[in-house]
Amino acid sequence: MDNLTHSLAGALLGQMGLKRASRFALAGCILGANAPDIDVIAPLFLPVDNIAFHRGPTHALFGLPVMAAGTVALLWLVDRLRPSKPGTTPFRAWPLFLVTLLAVISHPFLDWLTTYAVAFFAPLGDRWYSANAIFIIDWVYWIVLGLGIWLSVRRWRAGAERPGRPAIIAGSILLLYIAANVAWSAHAEQTLAAALRQRGIQPRLIVASPPPFAFWQRGMAWRSDTQWGAGSFSPGIGLQLEPASYPLGLDDPRFLHARAASRQVRSFLYWSRMPIVVEVAGRPVLTDQRYYRALDDDSVPAAIRRRAPTASFQVPLDLPSRP
């Protein structure tokens, strides 16, 4: 999920009333909601690739208390350098930790809802989990979160009774929206699985991918042990399954050589739930079904298709290897 959404989610938690827990509690909510994404700078200091490390240990169950504690430690330092004024809310470490931890937990929860997935048990487990329910940038989130925050801020400033109520209502609406999208994606995946079995195909993994803007539609990706295919699912039309299927390509000698020789390829495979080998402009490329041709969907605005990088989630297999 984008960091604007994470920040708004943290701010919404604060406006519900959690900001009264301690000095800097609102800051703890916003910083905590973004803290797990500190892993994006890990490749600058550690021998890791971003695609394998991002949404790993800092997003995992074992890392969340560490993220909260680090955020509280930073705010404690600010409190020592700039003491609070008499009569204001004092710094309370334990309540601040609990509030910040709740905000930190919101981060992998929102990320889990996307197709990119989260390694909840890293580094002890390498399985990636996703609900395939919400696009990574969702306009409904922005509207509901923004309205909930704005209305609650107005009530806090006016000294109104139950000032956090709009934020609580907004959070409840979002949870209903999330639940509906999780159920819709699950229904789409179950429908596709049944259709494939009728054709004599045993699916090993199916992913329903929400496109930008049109949250009610789904791009469908499926794979068996030997082949992969695609389709779409929408309320009025139902399931549309492309007639063609393609080999996974994971027995391609060029891929097998690159996997043994290249750390970049191995890192991509660690993260990828649906790896395939395809030809792009005559070159062998390792990619992931979830994002291969994802922008070809008619529901994606043409402006986004023109500006999006075409080589995203593609690893050429004919480049010099990086051990």
Q: What is the pLDDT of residue 244?
A: 92
229-286 per-position pLDDT tens digit: 999 999 999 999 999 999 999 999 999 999 999 999 999 999 999 999 999 888 899 9
Q: What is the pLDDT of residue 187?
A: 97
pTM beyond 0.85: the answer is: yes
CA distance 80 to 91: 10
Q: What is the pLDDT of residue 88?
A: 86
Instruction: Give the confidence band of 87 by pLDDT, cuts at 50, 70, 90.
Output: confident
For residue 187, how many other CB atoms are within 10 A of its CB?
13
Length of the chain counted residue by residue: 323
pLDDT at position 29 over 90? yes
Q: What is the pLDDT of residue 295?
A: 54
Q: What is the pLDDT of residue 273?
A: 94
Q: What is the pLDDT of residue 13?
A: 97
Per-residue H/E/C for 89-126: CCCCHHHHHHHHHHHHHHHHHHHHCCCCCECCCCCCCC
For residues 292 and 278, is the Cβ–Cβ distance under 8 A?
A: yes
Per-residue H/E/C for 161-187: CCCCHHHHHHHHHHHHHHHHHHHHHHH
47-77 per-position pLDDT tens digit: 989 999 999 999 999 999 999 999 999 999 9
C-alpha closest to that of 27 among 74, 88, 83, 85: 74
Q: What is the pLDDT of residue 151?
A: 97
CA distance 259 to 130: 25
CA distance 118 to 112: 6
For residues 41 and 61, is the Cβ–Cβ distance under 8 A?
A: no
For residue 247, how many other CB atoms are within 10 A of its CB?
13
- In this structure, the strands spanning 275-280 and 283-288 are antiparallel
Instruction: Give the confidence band of 139 by pLDDT, cuts at 50, 70, 90.
Output: very high
The whole-chain average pLDDT of the chain stands at 92
The maximal CA–CA distance of the chain, rounded, in angstroms, is: 74
Placement of tokens 């107005």 in the chain: 154
